Structure 1
Amino acid sequence: MEMIAERGLDRLTMAALGREVGMSSGHLVYYFKTKDELLLQTLQWSEEQLGAQRRAALARRIPARERLEALVELYLPDGHRDPHWALWLEVWNRSQSGDDEVRARQLELELSWHRDLVALLVEGMAKGEFATVDADRFATRTRALLDGFGTHLVVGLPGVDRPLALSHVRDHFDESLTPGKG
C-alpha cells in the first residue's frame, strides 16, 4: 500500500515490490496476475482494516452525532499522500478504462461506507437526534462532499487542510441535521 502511494501504480514494478516484501516478482505475478489486480486486492485489504475501525466506532454507545463525526474522521485522509486514499485515486483513475468487474468491486467497497452512513442517519432520526432527511440522498451528498475534500487533501492542494475540511463537514451537519433547524 505504501509503495503504491509513494510511487503510483504505473511506476511500481513487481520486481521492486518483491524486493520490499521479500518475494520474487514471479510469486507476486502468480498471486496477483496483474498490477490492476494487485491494486484492487490491496484496496480491499485496506478497506477491510478501515471497515473494522468503522464498525467499532459505529458500535460505541454514544450519541449518533458523535459516531457520525467518528465516521468522518475515518473517511477523510490524514493528509497529502495518505496511503489509503492513494489507492482510491489509483482505482478511480483505472475505472475509466471501462472494466465492469473493476467498477463492480469498487462500487461494493464504496457502498459499505454508504450503507453504514444511511443506517446511522436512520438511527439518529428515529431517536430524535437528527432532523428528518432522506437518508440515502443525504448520505450520497455527504460522501460527495467528503470525496471532494478528501481528494483535495490527498493531492495536497494549497489552502485545504484536514481541520478546515472537518469544519466544513460539521457545518454541513449542523445546517442539515440539527432538529428544528432548516
Structure 2
Amino acid sequence: MSPRNVGTNQRMRAQAKAKILACAHRLFREHGYDSTSLARIAREAGVSAGLTVYYFRTKQHLVQALADRLLHEKVVRRIEALDPDAGPDERLAALVDAVLEAAAAEPQIIALHLALLLRPGVAETLADAEHEHEERLAVLAQEILASRGTDAVTEQLLFRTSMMGLVYGMVSPYQPLPLESARAHMYAQYGLAKR
C-alpha cells in the first residue's frame, strides 16, 4: 500500500474538520452547549475524540471556529464579492447587511459565542482567535468608513459598538430585535439609502 500524497491528506483533514464542525453545530442547536460533550461530537462525526481535540482543543474552540466560519462565509466573502467600483455607502450598507443577516441566520451560534466570551477564563482561552476575528471586522469597517471621509478609527469603534448592541438584541432570547429594525437603525444612523 503506497502512502497518501499531500493533497489527499489535506483533503481528508478538511473533510474531518468539516464533519466535526457540522456535528458540533447540530448538537449545540439540538442539545445545548453544556449538554454536548466533545466525545459525543466525535462519535457522531465518525472520528476519534483525540482527532477532535487535536483540531479544536475544547468545545469553546469549536464555537469559535463556528463563529469564524460564519464571519467568513456571511460577511468577509460578501464584502470581497462587491463590485470594486462600489461606493462607500454601498460598501457600508453591505457590511451592515452582512453582519446583521449572519446574526439572523445563526442566532444560537452567535448567542453562544457571546455568552462564552463572558464566562470567566474563556476570553483568555480564545484571545488569539477572537482578536483575529475582531481585527478582520475592524479593518473592513475602517477601510469603508475612511472612504466616507470620517475619522475612521473613532468611527469604527462607534460602528462596532452599535453593531454589537444590535446583534446582541437580535440574538437575545427575550424579545429579540427584528432584523429589519436593526437594519433600519444602522441605515438611519449612517444616512444610507434603503435597498
Q: State which of 105, 130, 144 in structure 2 corresponds to 1:120.
A: 144
**2:174 corresponds to which residue?**
157
1:89 aligns with 2:142: no
Segments of 5+ residues of structure 2 without an aligned counterpart are 1-24
Counterparts in 2 of 1:99 and 1:117: CA distance versus 1, 3 Å: closer
1:32 aligns with 2:56: yes
- Do the aligned residues in 1 keep the contact of 2:169 with 2:176 (CA within 8 Å)? no
TM-score (ref. length: structure 1): 0.75
Deviation at 1:134, TM superposition (A): 1.5
Counterparts in 2 of 1:49 and 1:82: CA distance versus 1, 3 Å: same
1:1-182 alignment, distance < 5 Å = 1-50=25-74, 51-57=76-82, 59-76=83-100, 77-79=102-104, 82-94=107-119, 96-97=120-121, 100=124, 102-125=126-149, 133-158=150-175, 160-174=177-191
- Do the aligned residues in 1 keep the contact of 2:79 with 2:95 (CA within 8 Å)? yes
- Do the aligned residues in 2 keep the contact of 1:5 with 1:87 (CA within 8 Å)? no
Segments of 5+ residues of structure 1 without an aligned counterpart are 126-132
Seq. identity, %: 23
Counterparts in 2 of 1:81 and 1:17: CA distance versus 1, 3 Å: same
Counterparts in 2 of 1:11 and 1:60: CA distance versus 1, 3 Å: farther
What CA deviation, in whole Å up to 9, does each residue of 1:116-163 have, x standing for no partner? Answer: 1111111232xxxxxxx3211111111111111111111243262111
Letter in 2 for 1:11: S
TM-score (ref. length: structure 2): 0.71
Deviation at 1:111, TM superposition (A): 1.6
